[in-house]
């Protein structure tokens, strides 16, 4: 019997509108209102300025380890801007900019990275999940949310974020398969920043792209210039509209780069070259979008100073937050707490009443060059 061609060779498209040289493809330029363009720029710049401030706070011992986002602002803001407030956003651990766009107060994010459980709690009406640290575990959760929306007849769309390293996990493939079979309204946003901590992309997959992995599950896959906020906005808008119309999931591979450390416990000089970083710095998403807006006369004077003041006020509120209620550790575990936990709670309550906590120490007392030792546990006093 002759061999029969069942599936013609698939194609993977790459979308770029505003390249790193500032060249604009006017035929593809989206017709975004000036107010939306300004909002995109403000959110990207706020993400960058906050990221830089958080690194200083961590080095001073005022927050714990976190994952900086520098270089990935366009991938996050261009995609999350396509959502409605009634849609769902599911982050991993680097989506600070996207979470601020969705309404997370800066001080709440700082609380989270200072070890406060309350910092990871979304507002009651907020359609977001909290930060997810284990790699790729949030992907099946996102598909479950999308399945629930589909089952209830909602028009909500779910957008879930992850990195290139997550595509090496079984959760990624399980989530893509489930989403494809059930055609649920979910948009997978892979921020391919080239490195899974110290493992380069070439050691994770032999595929030319990550977007093509979607085709195995009957899902559309598109690669987009992740440092081009216009291209990401267009691609995400199309994927969200398709999901909302009942046409199923999409995988977006945003080609970007982590300009900083993987986390503040990482030293990337051990595994990547200065030349590589410098090459990607020339593709900085903020640099090219600033030039685009300047050419259109849409830059707001003094915005950097305004954002720095906003961040400083959020840091003040964060450091003025009283200590967490220690008794809360007993809540939300059992519908009917067992007797031994009831006894432990009562004992702790008696001890707390007998020995009130001392007032928080002045944060300015922390030396500006105090860098935690490796493995040191950080607690905000």
Contact between residue 145 and residue 76 where contact means Cβ atoms under 8 Å apart: no
Q: How far apart, in whole angstroms, are the C-alpha atoms of residue 156 and residue 243?
A: 9
Q: Which of 333, 332, 330, 335 is nearest to 349 (CA)?
A: 330
First to last CA, the chain: 76
For the record, the structure tokens of 153 come out as: 């007849």
Phi/psi at 366 (5° precision): -75, 125
Hey, which residues are catalytic here?
A: 258, 262, 271
Contact between residue 217 and residue 176 where contact means Cβ atoms under 8 Å apart: yes
Kindly tell me the burial class for residue 25, based on how many C-beta atoms sit within 10 Å of its own C-beta (0-12, 13-18, 19 or more).
middle
């Amino acid at each position: 019997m002759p061999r029969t061609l069942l599936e013609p060779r698939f194609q993977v498209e790459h979308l770029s509108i505003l390249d790193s040289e500032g060249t604009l493809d006017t035929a593809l330029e989206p017709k975004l209102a000036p107010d939306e363009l300004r909002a995109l720029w403000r959110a990207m710049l706020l993400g960058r300025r906050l990221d830089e401030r958080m690194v200083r706070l961590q080095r001073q011992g005022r927050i714990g380890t976190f994952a900086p986002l520098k270089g990935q602002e366009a991938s996050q803001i261009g995609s999350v801007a396509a959502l409605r407030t009634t849609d769902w956003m599911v982050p991993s651990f680097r989506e600070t900019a996207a979470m601020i766009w969705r309404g997370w107060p800066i001080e709440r994010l700082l609380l989270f990275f200072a070890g406060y459980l309350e910092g990871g709690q979304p507002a009651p009406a907020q359609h977001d999940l909290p930060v997810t640290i284990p790699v790729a575990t949030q992907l099946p959760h996102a598909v479950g949310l999308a399945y629930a929306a589909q089952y209830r007849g909602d028009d909500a769309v779910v957008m879930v974020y992850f990195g290139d390293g997550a595509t090496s996990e079984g959760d990624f493939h399980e989530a893509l398969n489930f989403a494809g079979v059930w055609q649920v309204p979910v948009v997978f946003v892979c921020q391919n920043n080239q490195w899974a901590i110290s493992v380069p992309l070439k050691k994770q997959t032999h595929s030319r792209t990550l977007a093509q992995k979607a085709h195995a599950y009957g899902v559309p896959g598109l690669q987009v210039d992740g440092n081009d906020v216009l291209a990401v906005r267009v691609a995400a808008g199309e994927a969200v509209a398709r999901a909302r119309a009942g046409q199923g999931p999409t995988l977006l591979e945003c080609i970007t780069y982590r300009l900083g450390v993987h986390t503040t416990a990482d030293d990337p000089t051990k595994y990547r070259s200065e030349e590589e970083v410098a090459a990607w710095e020339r593709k900085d998403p903020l640099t090219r979008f600033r030039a685009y807006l300047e050419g259109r006369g849409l830059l707001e004077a003094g915005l950097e100073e305004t954002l720095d003041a906003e961040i400083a006020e959020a840091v003040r509120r964060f450091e003025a937050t009283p200590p967490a209620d220690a008794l809360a550790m007993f809540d939300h575990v059992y519908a009917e707490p067992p007797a031994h936990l009831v006894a432990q709670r009562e004992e702790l309550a008696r001890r707390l009443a007998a020995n009130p906590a001392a007032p928080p120490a002045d944060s300015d007392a922390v030396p500006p060059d105090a860098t935690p030792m490796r493995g040191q546990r950080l607690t905000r006093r």
